[in-house]
Amino acid sequence: MPLIVIPTPVGNMDDITLRALEELEKADVVACEDTRHSGLLLKRHGIDARLLSYHKHNEAGRSEELLDLLAQGKRVALISDAGTPGISDPGYEIVRKTVDEGFEIDVLPGATAFVPALILSGLPPHPCLFFGFLSDREGDRTRELVGLKDIPWTLVFYVSPHKVVRHLESMISVFGDRKSALVREISKIHQEALRGSLTTVLRKAESGLKGEMVLIVEGASVDSEDEEIRWKERALDMVRKGMSLKDVASTLSEELRIPKNPIKKWLLGQKGIK
């Protein structure tokens, strides 16, 4: 029997799919972060299931127990307190081991915080880079941000309310004052998107904010001349590796948000390319 990874609501309790409820009903065991929290969710929907705690402090040992249950032919469901397991909550360990051991696995689509936050931000949704939580230690956090500084894609972070001021200050120090949006309390009554420069968002955060938060930050600006040199070099490399002109133009257009026709026209003007 399979391991079923099931998203649960990030705020509004009605944000659970019919398929998720069906799979929870069928599960022999439901692994969850907090049995009390998940027990309330299941009770709300009239589901009586065997619950096993699965959190960051027991993930390694509990993963082996869940593998044993799968080997016995049990149907195991994995949920977290909110959202999709494995994104920022425990789940990767058991997913990796389930794949390595050759057991069947399925992941249901459903609630996750960063997708609605990304759209609500008003910043370009693709390409984007989902980073998750930055390090708590200032030195490690600075090194992480330096590594992201020159990426021209929209950056997506999870941030805790009691750390948001420090993390915004670190970003301003490394990135400068970029466009951003702090989206909090997603799908709840007090949901809001605080948009503006990082400095503007920092001022609002300094007044005190509560709730789970997603911080969306504009990617690095790219010099147009340097950008043109890079895409031309990449385009030639892709053609040399056997990609068609159409596929090269489509790929670069999607990644860099530039029109296809100038890419194809330039390639056709290069010697030896048809």
Domain range summary for the chain, segments of one domain joined by + = 3-107, 114-217, 224-268
Rounded to an integer, the average pLDDT of 153-171 is: 96
- Whether 268 has a pLDDT exceeding 90, the answer reads no
The CATH number of the structural domain formed by 3-107 is 3.40.1010.10
Residue 259 has a pLDDT of 78
Residue 222 has a pLDDT of 67
- Whether 224 has a pLDDT exceeding 60, the answer reads no
Domain 114-217 homologous superfamily, CATH: Tetrapyrrole methylase, C-terminal domain (3.30.950.10)
Q: Rounded CA gap, 171 and 198, in Å? A: 8
How much of the chain, in percent, has pLDDT values that exceed 70? Answer: 96
Of 6, 158, 1, 14, whose CA–CA distance to 72 is shortest?
1
Of 81, 79, 68, whose CA–CA distance to 27 is shortest?
79
Dump pLDDT digits (tens) for 16-71: 999 999 999 999 999 999 999 999 999 999 999 999 999 989 988 899 999 999 99
Residue 15 has a pLDDT of 93
Dump pLDDT digits (tens) for 92-135: 999 999 999 999 999 999 999 999 999 999 999 989 999 999 99
Please spell the DSSP secondary structure of 197-229, one letter per residue.
EHHHHHHHHHT---S-EEEEEPPPP--HHHHHH
What stretch of H or E contains 252? helix 245-256
- CA distances 145 to 94, 172, 174, 189, 240, Å, are 29, 10, 7, 32, 34
- Whether 180 has a pLDDT exceeding 70, the answer reads yes
Tokens (6 digits) for 54 = 């699965």
Residue 51 has a pLDDT of 96
Q: Rounded CA gap, 202 and 194, in Å? A: 10
Residue 272 has a pLDDT of 65
Residue 262 has a pLDDT of 81
State the average pLDDT for the chain.
91
- CA distances 114 to 6, 55, 65, 160, Å, are 17, 21, 31, 14
Phi, then psi, of 77 in degrees rounded to 5: -105, 140
